[in-house]
Amino acid sequence: MTFTLVHDIVMYIMVGVILLATYVIIERFIFFAATLREGKDVVGFIRSHLHDKSLHGEILQAFEKHKSPQARAICEVVGAAQENHGHEQMEYIAQSIYVEKQPTVTARLWMLDTIITLSPLMGLLGTILGIIDAFYSLSSGSVAADPAAVSRGIGTALYATGVGIFIALYAMLFYNYFSSKAEQVTNQMKLITLTLLGAR
């Protein structure tokens, strides 16, 4: 196996990594768009129906089939409230529900975080392998001591570093964006549960 082949394999892996990052980005865009929209509906519903005597029943009726973490959390809090727990117990139950829903909100963000760390290192590996191959060819005499050929080989090797840094920047931009969206969703969950507990 030559260094050129290994360099090419690293480049193919980096193409796979950028495709994976793009998949995660598109999936998280769809998730956060739907989740935040549904969260606003839940917050609006709670605030507009806060003084209704049948608030718990209306919440279950309105959001039982919804899939967002906010809707699932509020339905579970209402279910626990109907079991007539004390206020202190309800606070603990609400916190445990919040902790349980947290992984749903931050799902797959670890992939982007890993890509941010891994891609510049893969790019550097590809560059090192390409440069080793260029100098190996020079020392073996197959390039006939042509400086232009060596320069082309080194230039091609440097593409790997450029691609690795591009992938890291691409993933970091969306990772930071989705982290702020995840914080918005968790704040909505806190707001919804605290508002409901305050109305008891």
The string of pLDDT tens digits covering residues 103-141 is 999 999 999 999 999 999 999 988 888 888 777 777 766
pLDDT at 25: 96
Q: Is the pTM of this model over 0.85?
A: no
Neighbours of 26 (CB within 10 A): 11
Q: In the chain, what's the furthest Cα-to-Cα distance?
A: 89
Q: Give the integer Cα–Cα distance in Å for 106 and 97.
A: 15
Q: Are 76 and 97 a contacting pair, CB within 8 Å?
A: yes
Report whether pLDDT(144) > 60: no
Cα 31 from Cα 10, distance rounded (Å): 31
Number of residues written out for the chain: 200
Provide the pLDDT confidence category of residue 197 given band limits of 50, 70 and 90: confident
Residue 154's pLDDT is 79
